[in-house]
């Protein structure tokens, strides 16, 4: 079975808080979480800095509930785009986005949404859930995005906080489902506090509320997240070429005494 | 049973296949607060859940028969019983519950089963060490 992932935990300066959120996620049964670095271009110059190093955060990450493996911590970059020039950092300076496991965009207008679906090199497109969607989800860009393996992200934390936001979340989600038919959707938390996280099975049931079928509701947390992560991996490498390097092992004394040919024969 | 030979003696076994036999679903839930030491009575607990259902699904959702079978006020955990038709409505509204009397809270659904007996064991943490 594919493991559960939550691809959006808001990065905050308070390390204690971030640790407690990640501990809570491990307790609830998530096998991997992604820490979200937001780059808002509202200010004159937004910086895309180096991502937070997971090893700094935890010397030994907490173990996942029901498993004996430690939780995996990933990094993710979200670019809030309200102008076409904001995509430049994705196009030209791809070295800036390379350290991140996942790159997401949050398009504010229909034109930018179309561009993100069809031409920009991203993994995840965030769907606005905090206000009435300013544009209608049309079929051509969405089917192009599904073809390219790009995922649409819905976050559920605003729905917990406020009843008006809950209405917008459900209506925008249902609008999106009408067009994409439940394909290529991921649901993540966007949590800023530990109590805003919900368990993976609870979130899968929430998918039923958004108009998904039972099978795809479970896929939004597990299979689709994994695909998004693998899409990020192909973006980081050269679209399918993975290069790994193995560190040379320390040669044992007894093995080095014999000639290489003899040693090979023994095995 | 039509094509089978009928024995003269009565058979000693019976095979019954039930499709969708469960009328109810049972949930084991726990209420978690940010702050320690919040006390709730069983009646308050149930009204909290009913109001959560009412907020998301309205009067029609809240009209689904819901029972609080067992309540432990120390751990704030309870076992709920709901009609199968109202099951998803109850679970989604428990998920979207975030506040109780201006305090942040969250309901953890620990276990779900159509049989009450299954709640005796723990299905989420099978690998214990």
DSSP assignment of B10-42: PPS------SS---EEEEEEEEEESSS-----H
Listed by number, the residues of chain A in 89-128 with a beta carbon closer than 8 Å to a beta carbon of chain B are: none
φ, ψ dihedrals at A94, nearest 5°: -70, -10
DSSP A55-103: HHH-SSPPBPTTSSSBPEEEEEEEEEESSGGGGHHHHT-HHHHTT-SEE
**Below-70 pLDDT ranges, chain B:** 1-7, 123-129
- The tens digit of pLDDT for each residue in B29-64 reads 888 888 877 788 888 888 888 888 888 888 888 888
Q: Say which DSSP state A42 is in.
A: T
Q: Mutating which of B33, B58, B98 best tests the A interface, going by the most A Cβ atoms within 10 A?
A: B98
Helix (H, G, I), strand (E, B) or coil at B68: strand
State the Cα–Cα distance between residues A238 and A240, nearest whole angstrom. 6
Average pLDDT, chain A: 77
Query: What token pair was written down for A249?
Result: 């092992």
**Below-70 pLDDT ranges, chain A:** 1, 7, 41-57, 59, 66, 86, 89, 91-96, 238-243, 251-267
Least Cα separation, residue A66 to chain B (angstroms): 4
Please give the pLDDT value at position A196: 83
| In the block, residue with structure tokens 């029901």 | A66
Please give the pLDDT value at position A142: 85
State the Cα–Cα distance between residues B108 and A197, nearest whole angstrom. 10
On whether any CB of chain A is under 8 Å from the CB of B95, the answer is: yes
**Residue B95 and residue A206: Cβ atoms within 8 Å?**
yes
CB B115 within 8 A of CB B26: yes
On whether any CB of chain B is under 8 Å from the CB of A201, the answer is: yes
On whether any CB of chain A is under 8 Å from the CB of B36, the answer is: no
Please give the pLDDT value at position A266: 47
Radius of gyration, alpha carbons of chain A? 21
Please give the pLDDT value at position A52: 67
Please give the pLDDT value at position A267: 45
């Amino acid at each position: 079975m594919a493991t559960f992932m939550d691809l959006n935990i808001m990065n905050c300066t308070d390390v204690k808080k971030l640790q407690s959120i990640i501990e809570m996620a491990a307790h609830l049964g998530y096998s991997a979480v992604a820490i979200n670095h937001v780059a808002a271009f509202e200010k004159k110059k937004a910086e895309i800095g180096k991502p937070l190093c997971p090893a700094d955060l935890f010397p030994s990450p907490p173990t996942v509930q029901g498993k004996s493996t430690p939780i995996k911590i990933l990094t993710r970059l979200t670019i809030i785009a309200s102008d076409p020039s904001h995509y430049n950092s994705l196009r030209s300076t791809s070295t800036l986005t390379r350290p991140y496991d996942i790159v997401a965009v949050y398009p504010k207008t229909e034109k930018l949404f179309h561009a993100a679906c069809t031409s920009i090199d991203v993994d995840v497109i965030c769907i606005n859930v905090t206000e009435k969607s300013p544009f209608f989800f049309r079929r051509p860009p969405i089917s192009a995005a599904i073809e390219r393996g790009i995922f649409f992200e819905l976050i559920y934390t605003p729905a917990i906080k406020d009843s008006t936001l809950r209405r917008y979340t459900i209506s925008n989600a249902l609008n999106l489902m009408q067009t994409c038919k439940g394909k290529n959707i991921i649901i993540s938390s966007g949590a800023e506090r530990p109590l805003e996280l919900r368990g993976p099975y609870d979130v899968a049931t929430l998918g039923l509320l958004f108009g998904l079928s039972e099978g795809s509701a479970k896929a939004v947390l597990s299979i689709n997240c994994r695909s998004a992560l693998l899409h990020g991996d192909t973006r980081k490498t050269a679209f399918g070429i993975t290069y790994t390097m193995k560190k040379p092992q320390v040669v044992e004394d007894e093995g080095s005494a014999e000639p290489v040919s003899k040693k090979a024969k023994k095995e | 049973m039509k094509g089978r030979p009928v024995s003269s003696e009565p058979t000693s076994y019976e095979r019954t296949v039930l499709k969708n036999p469960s009328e109810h679903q049972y949930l084991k839930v726990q209420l978690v607060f940010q702050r320690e030491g919040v006390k709730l009575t069983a009646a308050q607990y149930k009204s909290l859940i009913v109001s959560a259902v009412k907020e998301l699904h309205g009067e029609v959702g809240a009209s689904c028969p819901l029972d609080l079978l067992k309540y432990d006020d120390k751990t704030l955990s309870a076992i709920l019983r709901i009609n199968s038709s109202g099951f998803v409505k109850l679970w989604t509204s428990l998920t979207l519950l975030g506040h109780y009397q201006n305090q942040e809270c969250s309901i953890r659904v620990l276990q779900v089963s159509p049989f009450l007996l299954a709640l005796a064991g723990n299905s989420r943490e099978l690998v214990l060490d």
